[in-house]
Amino acid sequence: MITDNPLHTEFTRSLIDLAAERVGGETLTCSDDFFAPMENLIKPGRGVFIADKYTDRGKWMDGWESRRSFGRDNGRDHDWCILRLGIPGIIKGIDVDTNHFRGNAPLAFSLDAACLNDDGFAGKNHPEWVEILPQRLVEAHSQNLFRIPSLTPWSHVRLNIYPDGGVARLRVYGQPHITWSSVLTGELVDLAAITNGGQAIQCSDMFFSDKNNLLMPGRATNMSDGWETKRRRDNQYDWVIIKLGAEGSINKVIVDTNHFKGNYPDRFSLEAITAHNDDFYQNKNWQTIIPDTKLMAHHEHLLISEIIADPRQTFTHVRLNIFPDGGISRLRVFGYRKEDLL
């Protein structure tokens, strides 16, 4: 169960897990993962416990777990794991989750970061590693959440655990830093994609599932992998505001209700704005991009001719309105960056 820690609420509502497997995060190497593989660190959820499940090395654990350190002859005083962030960015917080690691959690941990162009240079002793969080004590079977006062964009992190033990999940919360170096000039791109720096920043409700699921790569794997609101019992409607990864035009939109068969919205509309303040919902300058449009269940809706905005007009945010409530699995907002329209 997720705790009610206010830091967890702050991180998950305003930041993105830059290291998550679903956005391309990858564990590259570690000092030791004798009992449980490092790849578990970035998987979804908090990890599960199966009481009677064992491997030929011992108890099966849903996390990363190294062997006991006493008697080592390799001169290593702690274990470590190096990860490449799926989205390079400015790291603002961390969650070292020791869920189900009760008698085998580390005593302490620290976090280093680096900005590296090639995974091959991400060795433990590479000179670019910088400590961004000094040693902190670890609580067993808990979310260990800490703010990180970093202003530098990073591409890799190194989790150090002292002296050994197990961590179920590592969450590296931050703000994406996109260079756009891989995008060709004049290329149509999904400006809302989380991997391009898009972020769902406000919504009316996300009772069943998180608003940022809308922007994840690929199509949804199931109904939980989307944005779903509770049933409204009034005459209002639900909405979500998305900050685009770059200011740009809106030339093609995809609204996908994949897996939402009995609980998709009846209709939707899309609005947009160019704004540089935080009062988005109250702002009166929202412009209709796609008028009120009927939706179908479990269907990927491609909308091009329905867009009524000038194809060269640029925006910084979009607002997806659903009537009256329900679930959307993905939203794609394709356009040209403002720089490419000049």
pLDDT tens per residue, range 245-283 = 999 999 999 999 999 999 999 999 999 999 876 666 567
Mean pLDDT value across residues 123-128: 68
Q: What is the pLDDT, as a whole number, of residue 121?
A: 54
Q: What is the pLDDT, as a whole number, of residue 50?
A: 83
pTM score: 0.87
Residue 184 or residue 12, greater confidence: 12
Supply φ then ψ for residue 159, to 5 degrees: -90, 120
Residue 147 or residue 128, greater confidence: 147
Mean pLDDT value across residues 318-322: 98
Q: What is the pLDDT, as a whole number, of residue 14?
A: 85
- Asked if the domains 6-176 and 189-341 are classified in one and the same CATH topology, the answer is yes
Q: What is the pLDDT, as a whole number, of residue 119?
A: 53
Supply φ then ψ for residue 14, to 5 degrees: -115, -10
Beta strands, E only, 69-168: 79-97, 108-114, 130-137, 143-147, 153-162, 166-167
Per-residue pLDDT of 202-249, as tens digits, reads 999 999 999 999 999 999 999 999 999 999 999 999 999 999 999 999
Q: Which fold has domain 6-176?
A: Jelly Rolls (2.60.120)
- Beta bridge partners, 318, equal 242, 272
Per-residue pLDDT of 154-200, as tens digits, reads 999 999 999 999 999 999 999 999 888 777 777 899 999 999 999 99
Give domain 189-341's CATH architecture: Sandwich (2.60)
Q: What is the pLDDT, as a whole number, of residue 1?
A: 42
Per-residue pLDDT of 147-157, as tens digits, reads 999 899 999 99
What token pair was written down for 145? 């959440």
Residue type, 224: S
Does pLDDT of 4 surpass 80? no
What token pair was written down for 335? 């356009």
Mean pLDDT value across residues 124-140: 89
Mean pLDDT value across residues 29-57: 90
Q: What is the pLDDT, as a whole number, of residue 2?
A: 47
Distance separating alpha carbons of residues 262 and 260, to the nearest angstrom: 6
Would residue 74 be called left, alpha or beta, if left means φ above 0 and alpha means ψ between -120 and 50 degrees?
A: alpha
Residue 267 burial by Cβ neighbours in a 10 Å radius (0-12, 13-18, 19+)? middle
Q: What is the pLDDT, as a whole number, of residue 340?
A: 87
The residue ranges of every structural domain in the chain are 6-176, 189-341
Q: What is the pLDDT, as a whole number, of residue 81?
A: 97
Q: What is the pLDDT, as a whole number, of residue 313?
A: 96
What token pair was written down for 297? 């269940």
Supply φ then ψ for residue 200, to 5 degrees: -80, 115
**Which residues lie closer than 8 Å to 23 by C-beta, 6 or more apart?**
16, 17, 86, 87, 194, 195, 216, 217
Would residue 326 be called left, alpha or beta, if left means φ above 0 and alpha means ψ between -120 and 50 degrees?
A: left
Confidence category of residue 332, pLDDT binned at 50, 70, 90: very high
Share of the chain above pLDDT 90, in %: 77
Q: How many residues does the chain have?
A: 342
Does pLDDT of 87 surpass 80? yes
What token pair was written down for 3? 């705790």
149 touches 91 (CB < 8 A): no
